[in-house]
Amino acid sequence: MSALLNARGLFKAYGKIPVLRQVDIAIAPEEGHVVIGPNGAGKTTLFKVLTGEVIADAGQIVFRGDDITRLPAHARVHRGFGRTFQVARVFGKLTVRDNLQLACEARQRRANPLAGLSAAQARTIAAQLDALLLETALERQADAIAGALAYGDRKRLELAMVLALDPAILFLDEPTAGMSAAERQATVQLLQRVRRERRLALLLTEHDMDVVFGLADRISVLHHGELIASGTPQQIRDNPRVREVYLGDEAAHA
């Protein structure tokens, strides 16, 4: 199957210090792909380069057959990118419902951002909003102020807002950071269900090995900005170099 997203030879330096060195990564449609590596390996930088927050110094990124290497982040969102952050980005003073209303309106206004909404579009938004509340189990919190939500609920709201834009690929930067074991497990289940039902590709960074092995069809390993391995979870578990620099004995028992 041809790749949904195919990046080749990505290079990025901050000043004179290279942070990504000739990184290749390919994501198939509907694939769950996890990038792992020690702190400072370049995972977040790789995310930023792929999503367009930072433009690579060299290399090429192709999405659905189009070269998007130099497109800014918002243009990549228009083409089907969705992204969540380590610290959830929601409008803290608005209710859950109003946050989702804004996200659903943004999708409806994509073709013409300045046009008013028709009655038919308003009905579509209301239906989408209810479906998103259900999908992310936020119905009971619909009228709560987003800034007062519990941590896991806030992360689910951020996910719902990204899903409102109907992405083809979701980028999740440490989606379970700061969560309890129970919240992590619930997040993995939610992401698996959303991915299956929406036929989404996922690309995530993660430190928790239960989450990594719970969501990955393939894993890529970064070390000092270099991709040292990419393969199935079993191939990564069995890779001596990966065990040496990152997994240690942990994965053997995962």
Ligand X SMILES: Nc1ncnc2c1ncn2[C@@H]1O[C@H](COP(=O)(O)OP(=O)(O)OP(=O)(O)O)[C@@H](O)[C@H]1O
Binding-site ranges for ligand X (CB under 6 A): 14, 19, 37, 39-45
- 224: number of Cβ within 10 Å: 14
Smallest separation (angstroms) from ligand X to the CB of 18: 9
The pair of three-digit structure tokens given for residue 244, joined into one six-digit string: 């040496």
Cβ 96 to ligand X, closest distance in Å?
28
86 vs 235 by CB, closer to ligand X: 86
Kindly state the smallest distance separating residue 64's Cβ from ligand X, in Å: 26
Q: Whose Cβ is closer to ligand X: residue 14's or residue 119's?
A: 14
Q: How far is the CB of 243 from ligand X (least distance, A)?
A: 18
Which residue number, 14 or 253, has a Cβ lying nearer to ligand X?
14
Least distance from ligand X to the Cβ atom of residue 112, Å: 35
Bridge partners of 35, per DSSP, are 205, 220
Query: Around Cβ 93, how many Cβ atoms within 10 Å?
Result: 11
Question: Are the beta carbons of 139 and 133 closer than 8 angstroms?
Answer: yes
Measured from the CB atom, the residue of 39 and 112 that comes closer to ligand X is 39
Q: In the complex with ligand X, which residue's Cβ is closer, 104 or 222?
A: 222
- Tokens for 148? 């007062």
